[in-house]
Amino acid sequence: MLHETITLPPDADSPLYIVAKRYWMPGTGIDDAGPSQSEMGRAIAAQALTLVFLHSTSFHKETWEPALEDLFQCVIGQSGPNHGGSCEKYAMAVHRFMTARPKLGNGQRVDFRTRKLVGIGHSLGGNAMVMLQRIQPTFDFSSLIIVEPMVSPEGGHHLYPLREKLVAGAAKRRDRWSSREEVSSYFKSLKATSQWDPRVLEKFINYGTHWRQESEAFVLSCSRKQEIVMYMDEGGPTKPVEALNIISQRMPVHLILGDKKDLIPPHIHRSLTDPKSGRRFASIHGIPGVGHLVNIFS
């Protein structure tokens, strides 16, 4: 699996860098989007899906890589530029990135309006993917796959106890280590990460932390403060529901939930999937043996 990093610099409307990764399969010809692209590459590009992946709070775009190894033609995975905002700002950052037609390593620009787009998002990423569909000018996604979205159709107050739990956990989370080896040893010793796919855990060790010169230590890439502010987003659990009610009427939206209700209460999932709500899901899949972190566990 080949990949390249694409960085969109700040502009007058956004002070943050937006970083994404593009993945493609070697030998298909799809990696060359220029005039010299092979006939096979052009044929593949015409039919291929471009999958746009969004990650959850406190994670990173590389979390999806193990799940992509066997399932892609062309993939764009984007990191949330800053967790200290809201799911709506995450969606706006994605929209800005896609609108900018970012330049690839071969000098060609990605025109997302010519691509057959499929949006995939987990938790916060699912919320943002839904919100993205309502930002003008809209992009024509062919379908969405939302995994364990952090939403509450019956009102945000139903998630207040969960919010308190997540905020408390983030506040006491260890956030600095003296070496990469210490980072690795620490996360591999935690009970909470013992059921993670080992590849996902390695990605988190390498991308979920980074060396900060000012602190002379490895620190969390998503700081505790940024994570907490994201959990405090008042409109986060409800605004995506309003968007979902509309977009599910005009495009296929597939919902994936973990069978273990370890984070989001069961009654919220029942409310989300209630046929009487008017929301139409193209499919609803329950994944046995896992909870909220569907794409993280082995």
For residue 282, give the CATH number of its domain. 3.40.50.1820
Q: Which two tokens stand for residue 226?
A: 């940024």
Residues 218 and 268 in one domain: no
Residues 6 and 88 in one domain: yes
Q: Give the per-residue pLDDT at 266.
A: 96
Residues 257 and 145 in one domain: yes
Rounded Cα distance between 295 and 290, Å, is 9
Residues 125 and 170 in one domain: no
Ordered strands of the 217-220 beta sheet: 176-177, 217-220, 209-212
Rounded Cα distance between 155 and 224, Å, is 26
CB contact set of 127 (below 8 Å; sequence gap of 6+)? 87, 90, 91, 121, 149, 150, 151, 236, 240
Q: Give the per-residue pLDDT at 84.
A: 39
Q: Give the per-residue pLDDT at 35.
A: 47
Look-up of token digits 């939403």: 151
CB contact set of 239 (below 8 Å; sequence gap of 6+)? 87, 88, 131
Say if 34 falls within a structural domain. yes
Instruction: Count CA atoms closer than 13 A to 120's CA, side-chain side.
Output: 19
CB contact set of 56 (below 8 Å; sequence gap of 6+)? 63, 122, 123, 124, 125, 150, 293
Q: Give the per-residue pLDDT at 45.
A: 63
Parts of the chain with a pLDDT under 50? 35-36, 83-85
Q: Give the per-residue pLDDT at 39.
A: 60
Residues 19 and 121 in one domain: yes
The domain boundary, picked from 206, 229, 252, lies at 229
Residues 11 and 77 in one domain: yes
Residues 116 and 206 in one domain: no
Q: Which two tokens stand for residue 233?
A: 């987003």
Query: Are 275 and 244 within 8 A, CB to CB?
Result: no
Residue 83 sits in which domain range? Answer: 2-156+234-287
Residues 8 and 98 in one domain: yes
